[in-house]
Amino acid sequence: MPDPILSLKKLDAFYGDFQALYGVDMEMAEGEVIAIIGANGAGKSTLLRSISGLMSNEIDQVNFLGKGIGAHRTDEIAALGLALVPEGRQLFPSLSVEENLLIGGRLNRKGPWDLQSVFDLFPVLKERRAYPSTALSGGQQQMVAIGRALMANPDLILFDEISLGLAPVTIKSIYDALPGIVGDGMSAIIVEQDISKALLVSDRVYCLMEGRVTLEGAADSISREAISHAYFGID
């Protein structure tokens, strides 16, 4: 394996006295798309919060581009080239659609994504560019959240439950857009409850249960039985 873009070494994470992650190890190569699946409360979102710096860890537990970032601030990690599409969209309500996108691009990192290319990917956003972000439908808000993360031209993009609470037809259109996003070499981690969607777009899968990795393997060779065992802990 060439130098990994991201590696986690015995990552523990805590909310106060509650331990949410137990010694999670993970490696991903540049350009890889990894899916993380698991039931509610398995630690998926905690994992993304730890990687993006929203939760602080020991410095060497999270390595990004060969650098220990476990104890770095969120904004420093973002500047290194890591973007998160947060669960529940979390757009800035007092900013317009276009301003939400522009603030995503404020780090001025070089790359293919700018206002124009995001509008090409999601044409509806161009029509709604001047709207307050709260005036959009859930699916359109999700497009803004994805566009906002892309505007940073990250090396690694994290998607947290991007299909949560959306209509199936909207989910399909967002997943149809994914290959166009990760196609040109951007690495991605996709946290998803919909296992079939996750397997379809990813190269490798990690399954989490109660804060531990219970399964890891290539998306196209992993068996449904193995997943349900790792997912629920039953045979």
Partner 1 sequence: MDWVNAIVQGVLLGGLYALFAAGLSLIFGVMRLVNIAHGDFIVLSAYLGLTVVTSTGMHPLLALIIVVPTMAAIGYFLQRGILNQTLGDDILPPLLVTFGLSVILQNLFLAGYSADPQKMDAGALETASVSVAGLSLGILPLLTFGIAIVVIASLQYMFFCTSLGRAFRAVSDNQDIAQLMGLNKRHMFGLAMGIALGVTAIAGILLGIRTSFDPTAGSARLIFGFEAVIIGGLGNLWGTLAGGIILGVAQTIGAKIDPGWQLLSGHIAFLIVLAIRPQGLFPRVSG
106 binds partner 1 per the rule CB under 8 A: yes
Distance CA 5, CA 16 (A): 30
User: In the sheet where 6-15 sits, what is the strand order?
Assistant: 18-28, 6-15, 62-64, 67-68
Window contacting partner 1 (CB under 8 A); options: 13-21, 39-47, 50-58, 199-207:
50-58
* Binding flag, residue 94, partner 1 (CB under 8 A): yes
Q: From the list 54, 121, 200, 226, which residue makes contact with partner 1 (rule: CB under 8 A)? A: 54
Instruction: Assess 90 for contact with partner 1 (CB under 8 A).
Output: yes
- Which among 4-12, 27-35, 85-93, 166-174 is the span making contact with partner 1, rule CB under 8 A? 85-93
Q: Where are the alpha helices (DSSP H) in the chain?
A: 44-52, 74-81, 97-104, 115-121, 123-127, 138-150, 168-182, 195-201, 224-232
**Residue 131 near partner 1 by CB under 8 A:** no
Q: Which is nearer to partner 1, 136 or 195 (CB)?
A: 136
56-64, 99-107, 176-184, 198-206 -> range binding partner 1 (CB under 8 A): 99-107
164: contact with partner 1 by CB under 8 A: no
By C-beta, is 90 or 137 nearer to partner 1? 90
Distance CA 58, CA 141 (A): 34
Facing residues of 11 across strands?
A: 24
Q: Which long-range contacts (CB under 8 A, 24 or more apart) does 163-168 make?
A: 163/192, 163/193, 163/194, 163/197, 164/87, 164/88, 164/193, 165/88, 165/138, 166/138, 166/139, 166/142, 167/138, 167/139
Output the CA–CA distances (angstroms, integers) from residue 64 to 72, 81, 129, 206, 224, in the order listed: 11, 9, 33, 18, 31
Task: List the one residue out of 193, 212, 211, 186 whose CA is nearest residue 203.
Answer: 186
Query: Any contact of residue 152 with partner 1 (CB under 8 A)?
Result: yes
Q: Which of 102, 115, 124, 226 binds partner 1 (CB under 8 A)?
A: 102
Any contact of residue 44 with partner 1 (CB under 8 A)?
no
Residue closer to partner 1 (CB basis): 102 or 115: 102
Considering beta carbons, is residue 11 or 151 the nearer one to partner 1?
151
Minimum CB distance to partner 1 smaller for 58 or for 76: 76
**Cβ-based neighbour number of residue 74 at 10 Å:** 15
Asked if 148 touches partner 1 (CB under 8 A), the answer is yes
Assess 137 for contact with partner 1 (CB under 8 A): no
Chain residues that interact with partner 1, rule: CB under 8 A: 52-54, 73-75, 78-79, 83-84, 86, 90, 92-95, 99, 102-104, 106-107, 132, 134, 148, 152
